[in-house]
Amino acid sequence: MIQSSEPATFPMRSRLLHPSERGLWIVLLFILLSVLLWKDLSRIAAGLLILSAQSAQQAGDPQKSQEQVEIAGLLAPDLPQLSSQKIYATLDLGSAATIGFGEAAALAASTYSPGLNNAAVLAFSTEDLSTSKAMLERAVLLNPESAQAHYNLGIVAYQSGDVETARPAFRRATFLAPDWPHPYVYLAALSLHANDPTSALEMARTAVALDPTIRLAQTALLYALWVSEQPDEGLEAVEQALHEFPQDPTFLLYQGLFLRSKGADDQALVTLRQAFFIDQVEDQRRRIAQEILAIMKGE
C-alpha cells in the first residue's frame, strides 16, 4: 500500500548581517533621523546658546555673550528670541551706534516681547531713545498685559517729550498693576506739566500711600499741594517726607514755604537757614537764599 508521505521540508538558513553591513545601516538610520530632526535639534541648541549668552551677560562677559548669540543665529536664524537678544548683546558691548537697518527691521518683526523689553532698557541706557521706543511699542503690541512694558514705554516717551504716548502708557500700567507706585508718580508729573493740580494731587497721594520711600513721589505731592495752595495738608506731607528723608533740603524748603504761607515767618526762617547749609545743587540753594532774604526784608 502506498503510504502518503509528509511534504518535503527544507531547512531555512537565516542570513545574518555582516558587522560592516550593520554599521552601515546604523549610520544611514542616524543620518535619516538627523535630517528629519535637524530643525528641531538646531532650535533646541540655539535656545540653549541664548540661555548661555544671558548667563554670560550676567557674569559680565558681553564678548562671550555676543559670540554665543552669533552661533545661535547660524543654527536657527528664525528663532523668535534671536533678533532682540542680538541687539541686547550688541548694546551690552556699548555699540548701540552699530545697530543697522537690517537689525532694526528684524526687531520690528520680532515676536519675543521679554527680549524686546530688555533690549529697550539697554538702548535707553545708551540714550538711543528712538530705538528704545520702537522696541517697546512692539513689545506692548505683542504682550498688552505687561505692565512693565507699558511703564517702560511711558518712561521713554516722557523723556522724548511725547506726552501723547506717555500718558496712556502710564495709565495702562496702573490699570494692570494698581499697587505699583511708580506709574502714578509720572502721571502726577504729567498732570503738573499740564497745569492740572487736581489730577496731580490724586496721582501723587496714591503713589505716596503705596510707597512713602519714593522720594520723587514725595516731591510731586509737595509741589502739587504748593501750587494748589493747601498749606495745612502740605505741612503734614512735609512731616511725613522728612520722616522718610531726614534733613532733606528740598523738603525743608517746602516746609519753609508752607510756614510762610501761613504767616509763620519766624519758624520758616529757622527751617530755611537749616536747609541753606546742607549740601545741595546751587539753584536750590539760591532759591532758599531768596526766601531768607524776603523774610528778612519783610516781603
Domain boundary among 227, 245, 263: 245
Residue-wise pLDDT tens digits, 107-118: 544 544 566 676
Residue-wise pLDDT tens digits, 189-212: 999 999 999 999 999 999 999 999
Number of C-beta neighbours around residue 141 at 10 A = 11
Q: 37 in a domain, yes or no?
A: no
**Total of domains in the chain:** 3
Q: Is residue 73 domain-shared with residue 63, that is, in the same domain?
A: yes
- So what's the pLDDT on residue 170? 95
**Above 70 in pLDDT, residue 214?**
yes
Q: 13 in a domain, yes or no?
A: no
CA distance 221 to 204: 5
Mean pLDDT of 155-168: 91
Q: 297 in a domain, yes or no?
A: yes
Q: Is residue 204 domain-shared with residue 162, that is, in the same domain?
A: no
Q: 21 in a domain, yes or no?
A: no
Buried b vs exposed e over 121-136: b needs ≥16 C-beta within 10 Å?
bbbbebebbebbbbbb
CA distance 291 to 297: 10
Domain boundary among 245, 266, 289: 245
Q: Is residue 52 domain-shared with residue 71, that is, in the same domain?
A: yes
E strand or H helix that includes residue 64: helix 62-75
Q: Is residue 79 domain-shared with residue 190, that is, in the same domain?
A: no
Mean pLDDT is lowest, of 122-131, 164-173, 186-195, for: 122-131
Locate 229 and state its grid cell: 495752595
Mean pLDDT of 110-131: 68
Q: 223 in a domain, yes or no?
A: yes
CA distance 80 to 138: 13
Domain boundary among 173, 190, 216: 173
Q: Is residue 93 domain-shared with residue 151, that is, in the same domain?
A: yes
Q: Is residue 57 domain-shared with residue 139, that is, in the same domain?
A: yes
Print the domain residue range for 108. Answer: 42-173
pLDDT above 90 as % of the chain = 39
Number of C-beta neighbours around residue 172 at 10 A = 21
Q: Is residue 101 domain-shared with residue 163, that is, in the same domain?
A: yes
Q: Is residue 122 domain-shared with residue 217, that is, in the same domain?
A: no
Q: Is residue 94 domain-shared with residue 169, that is, in the same domain?
A: yes
Q: Is residue 145 domain-shared with residue 166, that is, in the same domain?
A: yes
Q: 19 in a domain, yes or no?
A: no
Q: 165 in a domain, yes or no?
A: yes
State the pTM of this model: 0.65
**Above 90 in pLDDT, residue 244?**
yes
Q: Is residue 149 domain-shared with residue 88, that is, in the same domain?
A: yes
Give 3-state DSSP helix, strand, coil % of the chain, rounded to 5.
75, 0, 25
* HSE, side-chain direction, 13 A CA sphere, residue 36: 6
Residue-wise pLDDT tens digits, 169-192: 999 999 999 999 999 999 999 999
CATH of the domain at 58: 1.25.40.10
Q: 282 in a domain, yes or no?
A: yes
- So what's the pLDDT on residue 121? 72
